[in-house]
């Protein structure tokens, strides 16, 4: 079961699972999994589900503001995030409070294209090939706003698999640690070029309730093909990186990503 990472700034909670991405009904050896596992009492991951079952709802002020991450693909102000980060928002803003406008979204691939004021730096998208299994990758984003550093966080790991949950062909599985608020941030290669968009993490507590085992570092990113398709469909002229560009250190990747990545705030 996947968790869409869209935390309230006040409560720092996770959204409930993506409806499209439930675990298979059968476990190994054909053993049926519980149809409706009970939430872990007090779990941040299950507060949304508890409210849906009749628990006391959160105060309005705790539900109205949420955040994710986004990154610029043009210096003219086009930026990308996840659809679930901006879905239902009355107002969208970047980290400095400047207003952002929703231009287009792709709910099936959980992508959204926004536009705001021009910027000095934009990301380079990798031209080819796609990310490979075992390839080193990094993330940059703004998780747990109000609790962790507001200047952005770098994560490092590798591509674990070339498909998402239940063999979703539009996603990559990564072992880079991600947290609520990381959604919409860039997945980067060692040249600092974008190879995907961070989208979700496996709900470890819910899976443990079903299987008796706690999965570790199972996270997901959207591949480049759906991202490029969205940009191409709306005439966004993004830049691509060179295949022979030099490999960057973690310090250099952080400096590069920090320049084109921003928090994305949503008011509902």
Q: Diameter of the chain by CA atoms?
A: 56
Catalytic: 183?
Answer: yes
pLDDT surpassing 90 at residue 79: yes
pLDDT of residue 73: 98
* The one catalytic residue among 8, 66, 69, 183: 183
Q: How far apart are CA 268 and CA 259, in angstroms?
A: 28
The CATH number fitting domain 2-22+62-267, selected from 3.30.1490.20, 2.40.10.120, 3.10.129.10, 2.60.40.790: 2.40.10.120
Active-site residue (options: 83, 84, 106, 115): 84
Is 182 assigned a catalytic role?
no
For the chain, the distance separating the N- and C-terminal CA atoms, rounded to the nearest angstrom, is: 25
Match 């062909």 to its residue by tokens: 169
| d(C-alpha 103, C-alpha 23), whole Å | 33
Per DSSP, helices labelled H in 31-175 are 47-52, 60-63, 83-86
Q: What local confidence, expressed as pLDDT, does residue 247 receive?
A: 96
Question: Annotated catalytic, 67?
Answer: no
Is pLDDT larger for residue 100 or for residue 28? 100
Mean pLDDT of 221-243: 96
- The catalytic residue among 66, 110, 115, 182 is 110
pLDDT above 90 for 116: yes
CA distances in angstroms from 49 to 3, 45, 102, 179, listed in the order given = 11, 8, 28, 18
Q: What angle do CA 120, 126, 128 make, to 5 degrees?
A: 160
Q: Which residue has the higher pLDDT, 9 or 257?
A: 257
Beta carbons within 8 Å of 19's beta carbon, 6+ residues apart: none
β-strand pairing of 78-81 with 91-94: unpaired
If you average pLDDT over residues 175-204, what whole number do you get?
87
pTM, two decimal places: 0.74
The residue that leads in pLDDT, 24 or 144, is 144
Domain boundaries, the chain: 2-22+62-267
Output 37 or 154, whichever has higher pLDDT. 154
For 124-151, the pLDDT digits (tens) are 999 988 899 999 999 999 987 766 667 7
What tens digit of pLDDT does each residue of 142-182 get? Answer: 987 766 667 789 999 999 999 888 888 999 999 988 888 88
State both tokens at 68.
Answer: 């994710």
């Amino acid at each position: 079961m996947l968790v869409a990472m869209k935390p309230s700034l006040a409560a720092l909670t996770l959204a409930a699972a993506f409806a499209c991405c439930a675990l298979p009904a059968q476990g190994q050896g054909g053993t049926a999994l519980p149809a409706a596992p009970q939430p872990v009492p007090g779990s941040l991951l299950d507060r949304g589900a508890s409210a849906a079952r009749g628990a006391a709802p959160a105060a309005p002020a705790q539900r109205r503001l949420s955040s994710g991450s986004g990154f610029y693909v043009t210096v003219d102000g086009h930026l990308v995030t996840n659809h679930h980060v901006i879905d239902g928002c009355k107002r969208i803003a970047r980290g400095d409070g400047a207003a952002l406008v929703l231009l287009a979204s792709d709910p099936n691939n959980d992508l959204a294209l926004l536009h705001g004021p021009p910027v000095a730096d934009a990301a380079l998208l990798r031209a080819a090939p796609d990310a490979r299994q075992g390839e080193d990758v990094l993330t940059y984003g703004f998780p747990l706003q109000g609790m962790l550093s507001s200047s952005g966080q770098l994560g490092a790991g590798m591509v674990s698999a070339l498909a998402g949950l239940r063999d979703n062909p539009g996603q990559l599985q990564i072992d880079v640690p991600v947290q609520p608020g990381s959604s919409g941030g860039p997945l980067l290669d060692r040249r600092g070029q974008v190879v995907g968009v961070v989208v979700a993490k496996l709900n470890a507590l819910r899976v443990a309730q079903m299987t008796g085992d706690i999965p570790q570092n199972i996270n997901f990113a959207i591949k480049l093909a759906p991202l490029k398709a969205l940009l191409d469909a709306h005439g966004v002229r993004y830049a691509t990186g060179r295949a022979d560009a030099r490999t960057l250190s973690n310090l250099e990747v952080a400096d590069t990503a920090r320049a084109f990545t921003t928090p994305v705030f949503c008011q509902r």
